[in-house]
Chain A
Amino acid sequence: MIYFQRWLIRLVLIVLVGLFERVMGLPVMMIVLTSLYAGRLDQGWRWGLLLAVGVMMAALFMTPLSISWLVISLSYVWSKHARRLFSSKAIRLIVGSIVGSVTLVIFSFGQVYLQQLIYGVIAIFIYVVWLKRHRFYLK
């Protein structure tokens, strides 16, 4: 049973990360966090979270809602179901978030700059190290 307050706190956390990532220019962590959180929710809350994050992402990164939805929902589906291609969850998250965020930024601004990619790689590296320490559990 997931309570609404808990769901809302997670959404607020993702939006705060999204605000920071608007400055960095690449919503890598937003996608990673959403994929991780959504995987641990019931169906209704899961799609609600994905839609809410999609809306926030579209508002922050000036992209059509359909595109941000496609990016966030496919990133989630990828990180959850692509076990045959990549058995490691960390690799699935890295691939999903990098490809998803780069696609979103290209749709939004037309191009991706090197600084943004450097941020993406650093953020993912730090996060994966942190995830490994916590054995992929977020409490």
Chain B
Amino acid sequence: MTSNYQKFWFELAIATTVFLILIFGEWLGIVRPAMSVFERALQPAVVKISQLVINTTQPLVLFKKSFNSARRVQELEQEYSQSLAKISELEYLEKENQELRRLLQTRQKTAPVMVAAPIISLGQPSISIGRAANVKIGQPVLVAETLVGLIKFTSDYQSVVSLLSQHTAVPILVRTESGVEGLVMGNGKNILFTEIPKEAEISIGELVVTVGQEQIQSQLLIGRVQQVVDQPSAPIKQAIIQQEVSFYEASIVEVLQ
């Protein structure tokens, strides 16, 4: 009995001593470079496992989507015909824009983009680049040019992404095609377009884009208005935004600097 008691205190003493040594090492800054090496070494395996999970769950996702596929195809056909009409208009505007740029001799400034592989994790989606690639907290994360989240936390070779649908997501100032402004935030399940004035007219299917704020460029696509929630007792309107892409199904993501 005494022996077990002594063993317990001996092992606890070892654990505490090593803990204090590690704390001291972290304070001196000698632990981080060593950890960085291990993080980098494990990175390919983490990405591979994530890709494996995506590939494994793909049939399930397709099966789930196939239930609404007929209705979805109809909607897409309608959207396609509307888009064709817009394209011709946009092509004319693009030509005009290029001509004006040539006259002004200006160059289009584009934000540098970093490409990364997503790392799937329940509740804690991450990407395979971090501080070593100059990723900073608050930078936008895009999938197929759609804003899906912001960088929440970084280490040397990984970064945690706060998806727009999560509770912890930072509110983002957005605007619809018709000019209605509001905030986008998550409720844990959906992406909510909230703080919409009661008198504002908002219709289903409208595109929602960012207005522009610190670290978030303007005109980044968020998604389409899927449902408008207008409760008589509420002082504001809310809408649910649908995104055509998903972080969990993407093979690559982009981080805007």
Contact = CB atoms under 8 A, between A and B. Distances in A.
Interface in A98-117: 105, 109-113, 115-116
- Chain B facing A: main interface SS: helix
A19 B46 contact: yes
28 contacts: A19-B42, A19-B46, A22-B46, A23-B50, A23-B120, A23-B121, A23-B122, A47-B14, A55-B38, A58-B35, A59-B35, A59-B41, A62-B39, A62-B153, A66-B31, A70-B19, A73-B15, A73-B19, A77-B15, A81-B7, A81-B8, A81-B11, A105-B124, A109-B123, A110-B153, A110-B168, A113-B123, A113-B124
B84 interface: no
Given A64-B26, A77-B8, A23 B42 contact: no
A114 B126 CA distance: 18
B53 interface: yes
A14 to B, nearest CB: 13
A51 interface: yes
Contact of A25 (B7, B39, B121): B121
- Chain A facing B: main interface SS: helix
A121 interface: no
B19 A23 contact: no
Interface residues of A, number: 36
B122 A60 contact: no
Interface of A: 15, 19-20, 22-26, 47, 51, 55-56, 58-60, 62, 64-66, 69-70, 73-74, 76-77, 80-81, 105, 109-113, 115-116, 119
Given A22-B49, A23-B53, A25-B122, A80 B160 contact: no
B70 interface: no
A56 B123 contact: no
B204 interface: no
A119 B50 CA distance: 17
Contacts of B23: 66
Contacts of A51: 18
Contact of B42 (A60, A73, A112, A115): A60
Contact of A119 (B15, B22, B122, B158): B122
A66 B22 contact: yes
Interface in B179-219: none
Given A19-B42, A66-B22, 7 more contacts: A15-B42, A58-B35, A60-B42, A62-B160, A81-B8, A113-B123, A115-B123
